[in-house]
Amino acid sequence: MPGSKAWVKSLGQKPGSKAGVKSLGQSPGGKSRGQRPGSKAWVKSPGSKAKVKGLGLLVIKCHAYQSQRTWFQTQYKGFIYVNLFYKLYNLIQMKKVLITGSSGLVGKAIQNILPDKEQYIFITSKDADLTDMSETKRLFEKYKPTHVIHLAACVGGLYKNMNNKVEMLEQNLLMNFNIVKCAHDYKVEKLIACLSTCIFPDKTTYPINEEMLHDGPPHNSNDCYAYAKRMLEIQCNAYRENYGDNFICVIPTNIYGPYDNFNLEDGHVIPSLIHKCYLAKKEGKPFIVRGTGKPLRQFIYSEDLGKLILWVLENTNERSLILSVDKEDEVTIEHMARLIAKEFDYENNLFFDASFSDGQYKKTADNSKLMSLYNDFDFIAHEEGIKKTVKWFTNNYETARK
Ligand code: NAP
Ligand code: GFB
């Protein structure tokens, strides 16, 4: 076959050489032996100049092909060496990023966007109950992480916070205390702890920024969760000041996206309303939105937040940083409820039940510090984020948390 080693080998021989002649002789329907290529008769025969030119071109092509092949082989070998070197470099760098809460909304988003997961260790409560110090220690002993992204928490929407204050306080206090202490004891190079804008003071001026965290009590609907998160910030700062540990806090606003908790009672507003609208449409019932729909929120899509957290891991050691869309993108609960109803083509069946609490009216966050560090970040539009989340939920209804 042309281009095959045998074929190239045969053609590589100079015309008139034994091998060359022999192979030529064998070509299907080949010429009679009298007009052997290169023989006087052959040279004299009509069109020989063209034949010679053709042959010449062929040889050049083969040589070109051969040198191309060699070039590719060299490149490929080069690629192997670079790849090997990169792997060795990472090994030497020994960067091991332990991510707690990996099965959650934000943890899954980070897993989805990470091109190369080699350096990352994804932990869930099945690996270790982080409220238990001995289990947390065992985790650090086993993996000896160089970096930690601490996402694990006892999390829920307004109604879960209002009805499970002890759990929200104790679970989060224990997990956070154990993680920060182990991060120090195991000499972690960088810890990213995750707070929330709902922990800022309720009675304050807007927009709120990173420095205003302890300027007053949080909203009473989530005060226990809020104080547990405030203690996490205090603990990180204590290690920064006393030991110079690079422990930093990121502060997201309300997050939504695939893999969220779509529980009708405990979930945050967007996943709960997506589930409610799904059922309302299926059963032909009214789509009930709790409260007045007037409260204001800034919503960030989970994968946008994932990208920002990975960016923080590599690019900044700011003590605390709000991760949010602009304050101009703050919207009412009603606005998001109508986007959801539109996705289900169920707009005309949406009603508000003001007998339910509205919770905090607003918690407008100032993202100018983030924008001063990363000003061209492209946040996904609410319409597109809701479309993706509704699609994910309807496609994964059987397995979704609910
Ligand atoms: P999530 O979906 O509820 O996931 C929570 C994660 O924590 C899960 O992976 C869970 O593991 C793990 N976890 C819970 N209890 C644990 C325990 N005792 N031991 C070990 N792991 C445990 O949470 P999320 O919405 O992704 O939130 C991620 C972070 O962002 C949290 O720190 C949260 O406070 C913060 N935040 C969330 C929002 C929001 O709107 N969702 C807003 C601002 C800040 P299992 O699945 O194995 O139980
Ligand atoms: O996301 P969410 O539960 O919590 O949103 P917060 C609550 C707002 O959505 C309130 C309205 O104004 C509710 O009246 N809402 C309407 C609903 N329908 C529903 C529904 O079916 N379910 C829910 N959950 N809300 C949380 C804190 O505050 O913010 C958490 O409690 C956490 O600790 C989270 O930090 C980010 O935005 O009010």
* Residue entry with tokens 């930690």: 148
157 assigned to some structural domain: yes
Q: Is the pLDDT of residue 14 over 50?
A: no
Q: How many CA atoms lie within 13 A of 337 on its CB side?
A: 25
Q: Is the pLDDT of residue 18 over 50?
A: no
Query: Helix (H) and strand (E) counts for the chain?
Result: 14, 12
Would the CB of 198 count as within 6 Å of ligand 2? yes
Are 122 and 68 members of one domain? no
204 assigned to some structural domain: yes
Q: How far is the CA of 252 from the centre of ligand 2 (A)?
A: 15
The pair of structure tokens assigned to 195 is: 């707070």
The pair of structure tokens assigned to 99 is: 């991510």
Say which residues have a Cβ less than 8 Å from residue 153's Cβ, sequence separation at least 6: 101, 171, 172, 175, 176, 194
- The best mutation among 108, 110, 125 to test binding of ligand 1, ranked by most ligand atoms within 8 Å of the C-beta, falls on 125
275 assigned to some structural domain: no
Are 163 and 309 members of one domain? yes
Q: H helices of 144-245, where?
A: 158-163, 165-185, 223-243
Are 204 and 70 members of one domain? no
- Quick one: average pLDDT of 268-291? 98
Res 35: pLDDT: 53
Are 156 and 59 members of one domain? no
More confident residue, 72 or 254: 254
**Contact by Cβ (8 Å): 280, 313:** no
Rounded Cα–Cα distance for residues 73 and 185 (Å): 49
Catalytic site residue from 76, 143, 159, 225: 225
- Measured between alpha carbons, how far is residue 301 from residues 138, 206, 268, 379 in Å? 33, 22, 13, 8
Q: How far is the CA of 395 from the centre of ligand 2 (A)?
A: 24
Query: Total domain count for the chain?
Result: 2
CATH of the domain at 154: 3.40.50.720
Res 45: pLDDT: 63
Mean pLDDT, rounded, of the chain: 89
Are 142 and 110 members of one domain? yes
**Residue 21: band (very low, low, confident or very high) from pLDDT cuts 50, 70, 90:** very low
321 assigned to some structural domain: yes
Omega before 201 within 30 of 0, i.e. cis:
no
Res 52: pLDDT: 76
Are 66 and 101 members of one domain? no
Are 169 and 76 members of one domain? no
Give tens-digit pLDDT for 151-197: 999 999 999 999 999 999 999 999 999 999 999 999 999 999 999 99
Say which residues have a Cβ less than 8 Å from residue 284's Cβ, sequence separation at least 6: none
Give tens-digit pLDDT for 43-99: 556 666 777 778 787 777 776 777 777 777 777 777 777 767 666 655 555 789 999
**Contact by Cβ (8 Å): 286, 331:** no
Give tens-digit pLDDT for 318-338: 999 999 999 999 999 999 999
Q: Please say which residue of 93, 118, 152 terminates a domain.
A: 93
Are 108 and 122 members of one domain? yes
Are 111 and 247 members of one domain? yes
Would the CB of 160 count as within 6 Å of ligand 1? no
Q: How far is the CA of 214 from the centre of ligand 2 (A)?
A: 22
Q: Ligand 1 atom closest to Cα of 130?
A: 19
Strand duo 190-194 + 147-150: pairing: parallel
Q: How far is the CA of 386 from the centre of ligand 2 (A)?
A: 16
Are 167 and 182 members of one domain? yes
Give tens-digit pLDDT for 337-390: 999 999 999 999 999 999 999 999 999 999 999 999 999 999 999 999 999 999
* Local structure of 296: helix, strand or coil: strand
Least confident of 23-37, 73-87, 215-229: 23-37
Res 27: pLDDT: 45
24 assigned to some structural domain: no
Helix, strand, coil share (%) of the chain residues, nearest 5: 55, 10, 35
Q: How many CA atoms lie within 13 A of 193 on its CB side?
A: 31
- Quick one: average pLDDT of 18-47? 51
Are 107 and 232 members of one domain? yes
Res 239: pLDDT: 98
Are 183 and 235 members of one domain? yes
pTM: 0.82
Give tens-digit pLDDT for 133-154: 999 999 999 999 999 999 999 9
- Measured between alpha carbons, how far is residue 367 from residues 37, 189, 200, 375 in Å? 81, 26, 14, 10
Q: Which domain holds residue 320?
A: 97-259+301-328+361-382
What angle (nearest 5°) sits at the alpha carbon of residue 12, between those of residues 11 and 13? 90
Least confident of 29-43, 98-112, 222-236: 29-43
243 labelled catalytic: no
- Among the bound ligands, the one closest to the CA of 333: 2
Res 5: pLDDT: 54
- Measured between alpha carbons, how far is residue 223 from residues 132, 217, 235, 266 in Å? 23, 8, 18, 16
Nearest by Cα to 357 from 265, 221, 225: 221
79 assigned to some structural domain: yes
- Among the bound ligands, the one closest to the CA of 350: 2
Res 16: pLDDT: 45
**Contact by Cβ (8 Å): 232, 168:** no
Res 9: pLDDT: 53
**Contact by Cβ (8 Å): 369, 322:** yes
Would the CB of 306 count as within 6 Å of ligand 1? no
Rounded Cα–Cα distance for residues 35 and 13 (Å): 19
Give tens-digit pLDDT for 100-128: 999 999 999 999 999 888 889 999 999 99
* Residue entry with tokens 């004299």: 44
Residue type, 355: S
